[in-house]
Amino acid sequence: MSIISKHCKRHKIGYVIPIVTLVLLHITPYSYANAPTSITLLNNIEKFEQYYANDYDKALHYARLVDADLDTTNLNATNAAIYDLLAQNYEEHEFSYTEALRYRRRSCTIYQGLGDKANHARTLADIGRLYFRLGDYHNAFTFSHQAQEMADTTNNRVTLRETYLTMELVDYFYNKDTASAMRYNRLVSENYTNRDEARQTMRALNNRFHYPLTPNQVDEILSRSEALNATYDYDDLLINTYLNVALQQILFGDLEECAEFLALAKPMIKTYKDEGYYYSALGFYHINIGDIKSAIDDTRRSIEILSKGDFDEKNVHSYFLLQELYHLDGKYKEAYLALMQFAEIYTRQNNTESAIKLSKLINELELKHAEEGYRQQRLHLEQQQEYDALLWRIHAYALVVLTIFCILVISRHRLQRKNQRLKSAKNEQEINHKNEIIRLQKMQQYQEQHNISKLTDELILIANTPDNKVLRSELKQIIQRLQKGTNGNSDWVEVEQMMIDSNDTFFENLIREYPNLTKNERKLCTFIHLNLSTKEISNITHQSIGSINIARSRLRRKFGITGDDKSLIAFLDRFKGPTTE
Mean pLDDT, rounded, for 376-389: 78
Task: Answer for the pair 82, 70: CB distance below 8 angstroms, yes or no.
Answer: yes
Q: Write down the mean pLDDT value for the chain.
A: 78
CB 275: neighbour CB atoms within 10 A? 16
DSSP class of residue 579? P
Q: Within 13 Å, how many C-alpha atoms sit on residue 8's CB side?
A: 15
- Alpha-carbon distance of 5 to 17, in angstroms, equals 8
**pTM, to two decimals:** 0.53
SS3 content of the chain, % helix, strand, coil (to 5): 80, 0, 20
Residues with Cβ within 8 Å of 63's Cβ and at least 6 positions away in sequence, in order, are: 48, 82, 85, 86
Lowest mean pLDDT among 100-109, 120-129, 288-297, 560-569: 560-569
In the prediction, which pLDDT does 376 show?
72
Lowest mean pLDDT among 238-247, 326-335, 418-427, 454-463: 326-335
For 532-574, the pLDDT digits (tens) are 888 888 877 778 888 888 988 888 888 888 765 567 888 888 8
Lowest mean pLDDT among 199-208, 307-316, 349-358, 450-459: 349-358
| CA distances from residue 310 to 92, 98, 272, 273, 315 in whole angstroms, order as listed | 12, 7, 13, 11, 11
For residues 224-260, b (16+ Cβ closer than 10 Å) or e, as one string?
A: bbeebbeebebebbbbbbbbbbbbbbbeeeeeebbee
List alpha helices for 266-330, DSSP H: 272-288, 292-306, 313-328
In the prediction, which pLDDT does 481 show?
63
For 259-277, the pLDDT digits (tens) are 999 999 999 999 988 998 8
| CA distances from residue 43 to 72, 83, 413 in whole angstroms, order as listed | 19, 17, 50
The separation between CA 362 and the C-alpha centre of its own chain, rounded to angstroms, equals 45
Q: Of residues 419 and 113, which shows the higher confidence score?
A: 113
Q: Within 13 Å, how many C-alpha atoms sit on residue 33's CB side?
A: 8
For 438-490, the pLDDT digits (tens) are 666 666 666 677 767 777 777 777 666 666 666 666 666 676 666 555 544 44
List alpha helices for 134-214, DSSP H: 137-154, 157-169, 178-189, 195-207
Domains and CATH numbers, the chain: 505-581 (3.40.50.2300)
In the prediction, which pLDDT does 177 show?
92
In the prediction, which pLDDT does 398 show?
86
Task: Answer for the pair 199, 234: CB distance below 8 angstroms, yes or no.
Answer: yes
Lowest mean pLDDT among 223-232, 481-490, 571-580: 481-490
pLDDT band for position 335 (cuts 50, 70, 90): low
